[in-house]
Amino acid sequence: MSDVPGIELNNGATIPQLGFGVFQIDPSDTADTVQQAFDAGYRHIDTAQMYGNEAEVGEAIAKSGLPRDELWITTKCNNSNHGYDDAQRALDESLQKLGLDRVDLYLIHWPLPGKDLYVETWKGFEKAHADGKARTIGVSNFQPHHLDRLLEETDTVPAINQIELHPHMQQAALRSYHERHGIRTEAWSPIGQGRGLLDAPELGEIAQAHGKSPAQVVLRWHIQIGNIIFPKSVTPERIRENMAIFDFELTHEDMQKIEGMEKAERLGPDPDKFDR
């Protein structure tokens, strides 16, 4: 089908390492854009209740005619739906919008430490998994101390933690926590939202040496350190460009140069402070 490698998760499922993110894609553009992604070879879509475009992702899935077992569909429980019952109700709504009877991955979008309901929410996720509505369950934007509580107070280790991660925010400590506990890392805003980062001279030099674009270099860096990624674009050429990262390899020196770009600089909120 495509060159995208699979990554095995702690529940035995295999997720395509490259997917397509639909955050900030207008609902009126979503079905066509997702169709373009399918045409380019993407089989993994990352959406969320919060993005307001699950129904249009569902429309694209239905129109594509692709076999369900070739697709990996992720959605996320909205911040307004924390709690044992609410999390399960929210998944039922998402499934209805997506036109599916099961998602491949259901994530707690943010821990919301001020609400302190993420452990109860996780127990609701365990129930949704047991009921067959979520093949895999995971979290997003969790810090080690949030994960510690899930490990101590519940029966299921999250398969995935989806976190902000790009060359200016490399999350070494969290990645090593994940490794110790068999949790896979998903990187959101993998190319730093296409702003500033891609103009860095280091990336320009590496890109030129490989005959690739800075975006492709950064995406390839993620692949080589084992991250699962789903860059977003509404531009057909970029959708294809972001998929064309499996025909070259960054050298050890390239990887070290990118490692040297760390600034511990977030584009999004600090999960310990974000409570809305």
Catalytic residue numbers? Answer: 51
Binding range to ligand NAD, per CB under 6 A, among 17-25, 113-121, 176-184, 244-252: 17-25
Q: Does 52 bind ligand NAD (CB under 6 A)?
A: no
Q: Name the residue nearer to ligand NAD (CB basis): 185 or 193.
A: 193
Q: How many CB atoms lie within 10 A of CB 187?
A: 25
Q: Does 46 bind ligand NAD (CB under 6 A)?
A: yes
Q: Name the residue nearer to ligand NAD (CB basis): 80 or 155.
A: 80
Q: Does 105 bind ligand NAD (CB under 6 A)?
A: no
State the Cα–Cα distance between residues 60 and 57, nearest whole angstrom.
Answer: 5
Q: How far is the CB of 42 from ligand NAD (least distance, A)?
A: 12
Q: Does 190 bind ligand NAD (CB under 6 A)?
A: yes
State the Cα–Cα distance between residues 129 and 140, nearest whole angstrom.
Answer: 17
Instruction: Pick from 147, 231, 245, 250 the residue near ligand NAD by CB under 6 A.
Output: 231
Instruction: Pick from 115, 238, 265, 275 the residue near ligand NAD by CB under 6 A.
Output: 238
Q: Does 150 bind ligand NAD (CB under 6 A)?
A: no
Instruction: Pick from 31, 112, 169, 198 the residue near ligand NAD by CB under 6 A.
Output: 198
Q: Does 23 bind ligand NAD (CB under 6 A)?
A: yes
Q: How far is the CB of 141 from ligand NAD (least distance, A)?
A: 5
Q: Does 82 bind ligand NAD (CB under 6 A)?
A: no
Q: How far is the CB of 145 from ligand NAD (least distance, A)?
A: 18
Q: Does 232 bind ligand NAD (CB under 6 A)?
A: yes
Binding site for ligand NAD (CB under 6 A): 21-23, 46, 109, 140-141, 162, 188-194, 198, 213, 215, 230-233, 238, 241-242, 268
